[in-house]
Structure 1
Amino acid sequence: MMGTVASVNVGVVTEAPWAGAASGRSGIDKRPTDAQVLFRADGVAGDFIGERAHHGGPDKAVYAYAVEDATWWEADLGRAIRPGGFGENLTTEAVDVTGAVIGERWAVGAALLQVTTPRTPCTTFAGFWGVPDLIKRFTERATPGAYLRVLREGAVAAGDQIEIVHRPAHGVTLGEVFRALSLEPALLPRLLAAEDLPEPVREKVRRRLGGPPG
């Protein structure tokens, strides 16, 4: 129930043909910092987000990815991936991110975070890595990383502990949500038990199940 912040990463402005935003600018290139960084309800202080229609906001204020999952990708691709290489603000160690329960709360540094939804791979991610079939490969691997709400704002730094202080009883995990939406539609009915799943995701689930939108 205890892990560590391996790195805190802040996005710089990247201009590239593959950048998804209309401006051609992306914040996917996150760089590690040794400083304390304020995690706010609307996002990470100093972090650049190029396409706010799909990234950022209260339900996606922080993106976390596990060192252990990054290590698998390094072996698969045959190259090193530095912290922040997945576009994550928070690189975790000894935390089962894929197995985290929706609504689970993490005490991280002075902040309190809540697991909300998995990341969906996009063409910007594939362009950043230079791997044309990355969306397919990332989906099949199904270790998407976690978006988190900031329930209590506070400073976070590399080396801080990550303590899981609450885990909802419904048991719907981040990995199940990702697989239900992309690989295993038979899991969809189970997702509605996760009350902390963001409403746009719940609406998507209801649509796919053929029920009313609200």
Structure 2
Amino acid sequence: MTTYNVRSIHTAKITELTFGRKTFPSALLKQPIEKEMWLSETGLAEDEQTPEHHGGTEKALCLYPYDHYSFWDGWMDMQDGSALFGENITTEGIHERNTHIGDRFEFGEAVIEVTEPRQPCFKIAAKYNKPELIVRMRESGFTGFYFRVLKEGYVKPGDQLILLERDQAGVTVQEVNELLFAGSPSRAQYDRILEATAFSKTLRPKLIQKRH
């Protein structure tokens, strides 16, 4: 049984945030939960999402690997270090190169499935006053990724991610990142990526359209 450590689970309410000259609504400033919480098909009960980039059934939960924190340390002000990129779960051992679209995990009482990489947006760059952060995240492949919730249930601090099933197509999150951020991906790359059938309902149609 493969188990990955969840260091912390985070939530936040949407507030108006100002970073430098930018003001925008965001739930980026997430803090660790200290009690059991319901994880529904649209996310954690006390977490809010700005719908243009996050949330919904296909992006119900966002993971970012703690393994990557050292990559960013020293390059930018990591502030309090909690939910560095506004992720819902900060984990150890699981990352873009060893995780596939469609991999399924038990998380507390819930069951979750990987749907797509996180695509970094301007709000993260604004938070750290690093306009080049988005490019750096894309080039490194250290993006994190999203899950849908297949089975709702309670989760709590101390719950781990337990691998239930590897997707048969074996398309890693990193492979998807390489395609999304490539200058001119080939038809063969698209064919390979689309072997994964568990993509989010928003990303898969876009990949099919771009392939043609």
Q: Output the TM-score relative to the length of structure 2.
A: 0.89
Compute the displacement of 1:10 (Å).
0.4
User: Which ranges of structure 1 fall in alignment gaps of 5 or more residues?
Assistant: none
Are 2:19 and 2:129, in contact at CA under 8 Å, matched by a contact in 1?
no
Q: Which moved more, 1:198-207 or 1:139-148?
A: 198-207
Tell me the residue number matched to 1:48: 48
Distance in 2, Cα, partners of 1:143 & 1:67 = 10
Residues 190 and 29 of structure 1: CA distance in aligned 2, closer, same or farther (over 3 Å)? same
* Deviation of 1:147 (Å): 0.3
**What is aligned with 2:36?**
36
Q: RMSD across aligned C-alpha pairs, in angstroms?
A: 2.0
Aligned equivalent of 2:137: 138
Q: How does 1:62-73 map to 2 (within 5 A)?
A: 62-73=61-72
Deviation at 1:197, TM superposition (A): 0.7
State the match for 2:201 in structure 1. 199
Q: Partner of 2:202: helix, strand, or coil?
A: helix
Cα distance in 1 for partners of 2:191, 2:93 equals 30
Query: Which residue is 2:5 aligned to?
Result: 4
1:27 shift after superposition: 0.7
Higher mean displacement: 7-16 or 78-87: 78-87
User: Alpha-carbon deviation of 1:75?
Assistant: 4.3
Matched residue type, 2:199 = L
SS at match of 1:160: coil
| C-alpha distance in structure 2 between counterparts of 1:75 and 1:154, whole Å | 38
1:106 corresponds in structure 2 to: 105
Output one character per residue of 1:156-188: Cα deviation in whole Å (capped at 9) or x when no partner.
222212111100111101111111111262332
Deviation at 1:126, TM superposition (A): 0.8
Give yes or no for contact 1:5–1:157 (8 Å, CA) kept in 2. no
Retained in 1: the 8 A contact 2:96–2:141? Answer: no
Letter in 2 for 1:66: P
Q: Aligned residue pairs: how many?
A: 206
Instruction: Flag structure 2 segments of 5+ consecutive residues without an equivalent.
Output: none
For 1:121, what is the secondary structure of its paired residue? coil
Quote how far apart the aligned CAs of 1:83 are: 2.7
Percent of aligned pairs sharing the same letter: 32
Residue 160 of structure 2: aligned partner: 161
Write the distance in 1 (CA, Å) between the matches of 2:55 and 2:166. Answer: 24
Give 2:168's aligned amino acid. Answer: A
